Structure 1
Amino acid sequence: MSTFIYKVRDVRGIPSKGEAQADSRAAVAAELRGKGFTVVDISEKKGGTSIKEMLADVRRLKARHITVFSRQFATMINSGLALLRALYILENQTENAKLATVIGQLRSDVEGGISLSDALEKHPNIFSRLYVNMVRAGEAGGILDETLDRVAAQLEAEDSLKRQVRSAMVYPLLIAVFAVLVLMAMMMFIIPIFAKMYADLGSQLPMLTRIMVNISNVMRSIYGVFIFAAIGGGIYGLIRLKRTEKGVRVWDNIKLKMPMGIGEIIRKLAMARFSRTLSTLVASGVPILQAIDITGETAGNSVVSDAMAGVKSSVKEGRPMSEPLSQVSVFPPMVVQMIAVGEETGAVDVMLTKIADFYEDEVNAAVKSLTSILEPIMMIGVGGLVGVIVISLYLPIFNLMSVINN
């Protein structure tokens, strides 16, 4: 048996709370309703945490877990299963312990008379505002199964795009890490061996060799510690700055201006996310002003978020969305024109979906193109640096052999 903390209201609406021991939240809820109470909330009392529970808390809840949950939930609702029955089945069949616990809490809340959207809203770290508002619109329109399918499609599209970008950047990142490790090893361990050997010979070292030996000496001295500490402190400071509102804005603008097509990829990602989010919300029946708000919050780029504030003001005044977007450089003319056509024809969600599809394909192609350029550049760069170090180490030997021959 577990101990549960409950909050209830009596027939006069007076709130009260207490504790009860039972096998499940459902048992506590049934007992309280039998006594004439309206259940507000039931949560399990936290006691000593077992290793298994600690591991379950540490385990990350990935986007695909929420996607699978949404798909299965939609299928069950569409098949005619009652909401509580569907949640009960999902709670018992979900493999992820953390998600199973959350579903159990959702079921308990719904049993207590809370709407599904309000129950989801209690878990902001798992169910985003976009998710909650789409479910709320689905409840109001009686199309919960359709809305859950749309949510799952939205999550799948976002997750697929992220995975494409990540997988494409893995190889260049591995090359960069490998290069740093190789160069560090050569500077810290290989060059000192050659430096000692040449010092014993007492010969004059070439300029390139002296530079490499001096760099190695600095890296292995107390000054090297200060240099590494300064670099680490600088990186930490940038990370902290990036978490401030001003830092986020500066960083988002820098990202959009990055060379080698990186800035263009980031802009296309922002367009894909903006279009997909807004189209899904509008198609689900979320009020347009609320949809614009949520799109701004979940845009992932402060430039797009600021643009959404202008769009909201424009719509409030009865003007079209496309008007303020045309004044923001991050939105290409094609996007603005397609949204304008959508507004004229009353098919904004359809146009936004087409924009999202287009930019998701563009991101995929651009990422592949970037990696095909980056890989040879990085290989040449790494090979060049290692080659310079190797040549600097063997130059004294070549000079010595030249003297002997003469």
Structure 2
Amino acid sequence: MSISRSAAKKTAITSAGPRENPLSLFVWEGVDKRGVKMKGEQPSKNANMLRAELRRQGITPNMVKVKPKPLFGSAGHTISPKEIAFFSRQMATMMKSGVPIVTSLDIIAGGQKNPRMKKMVDQVRADIEGGSSMTEAISRHPVQFDELYRNLVRAGEGAGVLETVLDTIASYKENLEALKGKIKKALFYPAMVIAVAILVSAILLVFVVPQFEETFKSFGADLPAFTKLIVAASRFMVAWWWALLLIALVGIVVTVFSFKRSPAFQHFVDRMILKVPVVGQIMHNSSVARFARTTAVTFKAGVPLVEALDTVAGATGNTVYEKAVHRMRDDVAVGYPLNVAMKQTALFPHMVVQMTAIGEEAGALDTMLFKVAEYYEQEVNNAVDALSSLIEPFIMVVIGVLVGGMVIGMYLPIFKLAMTVG
């Protein structure tokens, strides 16, 4: 059981003072007057002061020690988009229930298991207590709260509907993360299976094939061409495995670095991905869905369309669509309707352009774009399920060619010898 908030504040006030050592976080265990075991965490200047504070509260401390730091610091406790979505949902729920924003943040911070998330929420609360607006407070954490999030909160504060906007943001992020998770799941499984197949093949070439080669030498007969090919590959792997491993690692590092640092390379990769059969169509539909939902959310929140498009561009998840949305923003800024600007990019399906045109004419653009987003998110879900079914036989073929072919190649001389003897 944790110490009450008033007691924690009393301890902090008692131990605070000019130019004194900062408070340390202690963990403690003890028993109360009824003999019930209790434990908790509390900041204090030193262990003796914390023991005295616990006794004043009727708790007999058995153990008080400084809370150990994680072995690798805060590594492994980054703030995930799902945590930001959950934070938004909690804020919206409490604010709709009439809980003041500072109290809401205090409650949310107290329930965080991720130390980085707790620290960030505490900082946001402290900034708001100090007179900052919600927008100003979250703007000090641009990695966790991106430009889209900040713009939506700014619009919500300006219109006096912050709780509604936070609820919309939570739904948006939950849908977006579900979509991304679906795509990652579809691509992760085949990638891992193929990687394992390659690893098994490498182990066979380095450790197993050389043993067979020694056996083949005792036959004194000419080996089949396929077996010779496998033996040659094995010799090469045994001699140069370290070079191949180094080349693979360097290739991965260079590719990742180039993708993150070079916009041109990133654009090239994204363009190539869109051309891959089946996968490319999934990525097209995903980008359209993300564009439609993000635009609908920002427009519904009251963000002007030109400013909304500027924010939406980075949320499409593909640099090809990002550049297209920037061109659309420039066209809309000089007076073109959104549907005309979309048509000029030649990226958006005819149905999306037509529904956008209807939404603009009817003054219900956000409603139409939400419908577009729902349709294309469902298309992505269906395509991913179909892809999973198509990938299974493809994986079997890959494993059969890599591993099965190698095993057959090793046994061919034995079959040949058996036929000769027979």
TM-score range, shorter chain: 0.7 to 0.9
> 384-393 or 374-383, which moves further after superposition?
384-393
Deviation at residue 200 of structure 1 after TM alignment: 2.6
How much identity, in percent, do the aligned residues show?
34
Structure 2 stretches lacking a partner, 5+ long: 1-10, 25-65
CA contact 1:2–1:22 (8 Å) conserved in 2: no
1:363 to 380, 388, 398: 380
Deviation at residue 384 of structure 1 after TM alignment: 3.2
| CA distance in structure 2 between the partners assigned to 1:334 and 1:152 by the alignment | 28
Aligned counterpart, 1:327: 344
2:113 to 81, 92, 95: 95
Query: Which amino acid is the alignment partner of residue 275 of structure 2?
Result: K
Aligned counterpart, 1:183: 201
1:266 to 269, 277, 283: 283
The 1:51–1:383 alpha-carbon spacing in structure 2 relative to 1, beyond 3 Å, is: same
Matched, 1:246 2:264: yes
**TM, length-normalised to structure 1:** 0.85
2:334 to 295, 317, 332: 317
2:81 to 60, 63, 81: 63
> 181-190 or 277-286, which moves further after superposition?
181-190
**TM, length-normalised to structure 2:** 0.81
Aligned counterpart, 1:352: 369
Aligned counterpart, 2:402: 385
The 1:339–1:397 alpha-carbon spacing in structure 2 relative to 1, beyond 3 Å, is: same
Query: Which amino acid is the alignment partner of residue 242 of structure 1?
Result: F
CA contact 2:332–2:341 (8 Å) conserved in 1: no
1:212 to 219, 230, 235: 230
Deviation at residue 22 of structure 1 after TM alignment: 7.6
Structure 1 stretches lacking a partner, 5+ long: 4-17, 25-47
The 1:227–1:96 alpha-carbon spacing in structure 2 relative to 1, beyond 3 Å, is: closer
Aligned counterpart, 2:91: 73
> 302-311 or 141-150, which moves further after superposition?
302-311
Query: Which amino acid is the alignment partner of residue 113 of structure 1?
Result: G
Matched, 1:285 2:302: yes
| CA distance in structure 1 between the partners assigned to 2:367 and 2:330 by the alignment | 23
| CA distance in structure 2 between the partners assigned to 1:219 and 1:309 by the alignment | 49
Aligned counterpart, 1:44: none
Q: Secondary structure at the match of 1:204?
A: coil
Query: Which amino acid is the alignment partner of residue 374 of structure 2?
Result: D
Matched, 1:372 2:389: yes
Root-mean-square deviation (Å): 2.3
CA contact 2:92–2:163 (8 Å) conserved in 1: yes
| CA distance in structure 2 between the partners assigned to 1:367 and 1:19 by the alignment | 60
| CA distance in structure 2 between the partners assigned to 1:113 and 1:271 by the alignment | 40
Deviation at residue 309 of structure 1 after TM alignment: 1.8
Query: Which amino acid is the alignment partner of residue 308 of structure 2?
Result: A
CA contact 1:296–1:306 (8 Å) conserved in 2: yes
Query: For 1:191-249, what per-residue CA distance to the aligned partner results, in whole angstroms no more than 9, with x for missing partners?
Result: 11110111133221111111110000001003x43344334333333323222011111
Query: Which amino acid is the alignment partner of residue 385 of structure 1?
Result: L
Deviation at residue 386 of structure 1 after TM alignment: 2.3
Matched, 1:118 2:136: yes
| CA distance in structure 2 between the partners assigned to 1:55 and 1:113 by the alignment | 32
Aligned counterpart, 1:36: none
| CA distance in structure 2 between the partners assigned to 1:231 and 1:98 by the alignment | 34
Aligned counterpart, 1:404: 421
Aligned length: 366
Deviation at residue 68 of structure 1 after TM alignment: 1.6
Aligned counterpart, 1:340: 357
| CA distance in structure 1 between the partners assigned to 2:421 and 2:297 by the alignment | 79
Aligned counterpart, 2:169: 151
> 300-309 or 129-138, which moves further after superposition?
300-309
CA contact 1:311–1:321 (8 Å) conserved in 2: yes
CA contact 2:95–2:101 (8 Å) conserved in 1: yes
Q: Secondary structure at the match of 2:302?
A: coil
The 1:325–1:131 alpha-carbon spacing in structure 2 relative to 1, beyond 3 Å, is: same
The 1:236–1:142 alpha-carbon spacing in structure 2 relative to 1, beyond 3 Å, is: same
CA contact 1:283–1:349 (8 Å) conserved in 2: yes
